[in-house]
């Protein structure tokens, strides 16, 4: 019997970590290719159609079971795991001005408190940088702060 893996349900506030955990579960269960579209939906007349529907249904179930009830209403009527994944991405991985401002604010205003863990602080900092990179703003920040040099120094690696 395979061990089950539990993750926090998606609430909207935790999308960035939720998607990493969910993708890992889907890969572990050999379902990620259905969600990502790497295995496209075959025609109904194709011999592989029934198997595809079965596997995509499993992926859809894994995703829906990891979404909080309050978020499920937005997914009503979507009929493939890919359409559900894409809808969640469009809802929570925004790249608009508000997201940009929020991430830049987090990056610039975050200060380490005396009781904070240095590694966690650095990890949070680079998490914000990664998110800025995803929406296309990282080069501005890298140029401004010299982040690659800071990262190498902080992690004790060679340049």
What pLDDT was estimated at residue 44?
94
pLDDT of residue 132: 75
For residue 103, what are its two tokens?
């991430």
Q: Where are the domains of the chain?
A: 15-92, 97-155
pLDDT tens digit sequence for 46-102: 999 999 999 999 999 999 999 999 889 989 999 999 999 999 988 877 666 666 776
Cβ neighbour number for residue 99 with a 10 Å cutoff: 17
> What separation in angstroms does the CA of 28 have from each of 6, 23, 64, 108, 152?
13, 8, 17, 37, 32
Mean pLDDT of all residues in 33-58: 96
User: What does pLDDT average to over the chain?
Assistant: 82
């Amino acid at each position: 019997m395979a061990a089950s893996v539990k993750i926090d349900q998606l609430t909207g506030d935790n999308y960035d970590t939720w998607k990493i955990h969910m993708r890992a579960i889907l890969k572990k269960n050999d379902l990620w290719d259905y969600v990502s579209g790497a295995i496209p939906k075959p025609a109904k007349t194709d011999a592989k159609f029934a198997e595809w529907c079965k596997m995509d249904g499993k992926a859809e179930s894994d995703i829906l079971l990891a979404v909080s009830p309050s978020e499920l209403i937005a997914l009503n009527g979507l009929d493939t795991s890919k359409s559900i994944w894409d809808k969640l991405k469009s809802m929570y991985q925004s790249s608009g001005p508000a997201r940009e401002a929020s991430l830049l604010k987090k990056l610039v205003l975050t200060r380490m408190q005396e009781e904070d863990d240095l590694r966690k602080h650095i990890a949070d900092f680079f998490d914000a940088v990664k998110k800025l990179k995803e929406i296309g703003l990282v080069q501005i920040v890298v140029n401004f702060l010299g982040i690659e040099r800071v990262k190498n120094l902080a992690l004790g690696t060679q340049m």
